Structure 1
Amino acid sequence: MADEEHSEGNARSFLSCAAEVARLLALGNAADVPEDRRARHLAHAVRKPLLERAGLPEEFFVPLMAAAVYDPDPSFCRWFVEPALYAFGRRRVMTALLDCLRSGTDTEQAGARRAWYCAHLPLHADRSPAYAPDGNRDPALDESHDVVDEWLEASGGQLRGCAASVDRKEA
């Protein structure tokens, strides 16, 4: 019973996070969608509009990161991490996930670990208008080797998935 209550609480948290991102985009709250599918519906609805923007206002950062951390599906938290990477940079996204790993609840730490994998996505100029017309962007936004080192220290040396091999090869 406690696991069911915990899972329901996490689903409600993800729903509130996805709803906040949708609100910021003025997309509505999908009240006509059954509650058990509403969060995923909202996540799907925000994905394309987020990636189509050349930049996002500062007010988007915390809701995007919260939605990424609370998304229970590691395949879909990318829908929140990827636009944050383009708009705010890999360094800032990874630093937020590191903070979550260090001081978050157990649920938030698990979510940060899931989202960490997505924070290593390759960025492409043709995927987002966040790049300058010449296909460049400030490299300081994505410099993250020191944050990866801090993650390794905080997580006991554990990276996840293929991101582990990429980071170890770059070291």
Structure 2
Amino acid sequence: MAEDDRLEAAPLSFLSCVAEVARLLGLGTGSAVPEDRRARHLAHVVRKPLLESARLPEELFAPLMAAAIYDPDPSHCRWFVEPTVYAFGRRRAMTALLEYLRAGTEAERAGAKRAWYCAHVPLRADRSPAYAPDGSRDPALDETRDVVDEWRMASDGPGHESAAARDRDEA
């Protein structure tokens, strides 16, 4: 992933990522919440406005993807992936995850793998106002066959050996 597309904060943490999403949505920082619970609190705060938005500003794309990648809970990273898929398209979200898989740190690659599963969320017109009033959406936003093929190659390619290969080598 290009450096321009990543958050500038270093080191990144789930709290810094979700705090940036909250800031961009104008929802505050949750500073009254103890720090050990602040990240999950902010995730709860941003979830509803993200899903209720027909459009999200471009500046939210990278922070949403970073929050999904850094969310330590595999069942909650969907809270950031799902609105990203609705607002920016499955193709763009999956392409960003592919870039994390290819060029990210070990932690980012692990987060990308968790978020990849969530990027396959079924899209429903009644779930998001991101659809046109007639319930339609540009199919190009969600065309991912080539990205899925690239993901498979990157998952099994050099530096990203498959679980089967690791198990074989460890035996």
Counterpart amino acid of residue 17 in structure 2: C
Counterpart amino acid of residue 119 in structure 2: A
1:153 counterpart residue number: 153
Measure how far apart 1:156 and its partner are.
1.1
For residues 40 and 52 of structure 1, what CA distance do their matches in structure 2 show?
19
Counterpart amino acid of residue 35 in structure 1: E
Unaligned 5+ segments in structure 2 are: 1-9, 163-171
**SS across alignment from 1:28:** coil
For residues 16 and 44 of structure 2, what CA distance do their matches in structure 1 show?
15
Greater share of helix residues, 1 or 2?
1
Matches of residues 1-171 of structure 1 in structure 2 within 5 Å? 13-156=13-156
Q: TM-score, normalised by structure 2?
A: 0.85
For residues 150 and 136 of structure 2, what CA distance do their matches in structure 1 show?
27
**SS across alignment from 2:13:** helix
Q: TM-score, normalised by structure 1?
A: 0.85
**SS across alignment from 1:129:** coil
Counterpart amino acid of residue 101 in structure 1: L
Q: CA RMSD in A?
A: 1.7
Q: Would you say how many aligned residue pairs link Structure 1 and Structure 2?
A: 150
Segments of 4+ moved more than 3 angstroms: none
Measure how far apart 1:81 and its partner are.
0.2
For residues 93 and 82 of structure 1, what CA distance do their matches in structure 2 show?
9
For residues 111 and 63 of structure 1, what CA distance do their matches in structure 2 show?
14
1:88-146 per-position Cα deviation (integer Å, ceiling 9, x unaligned)? 00000000000000000000000000000000000100000000000000000000010
Counterpart amino acid of residue 54 in structure 1: A
Measure how far apart 1:53 and its partner are.
0.5
Measure how far apart 1:45 and its partner are.
0.4
For residues 46 and 116 of structure 2, what CA distance do their matches in structure 1 show?
20
Identity percentage over the alignment?
A: 76
1:61-98 per-position Cα deviation (integer Å, ceiling 9, x unaligned)? 00000000000000000000000000000000000000
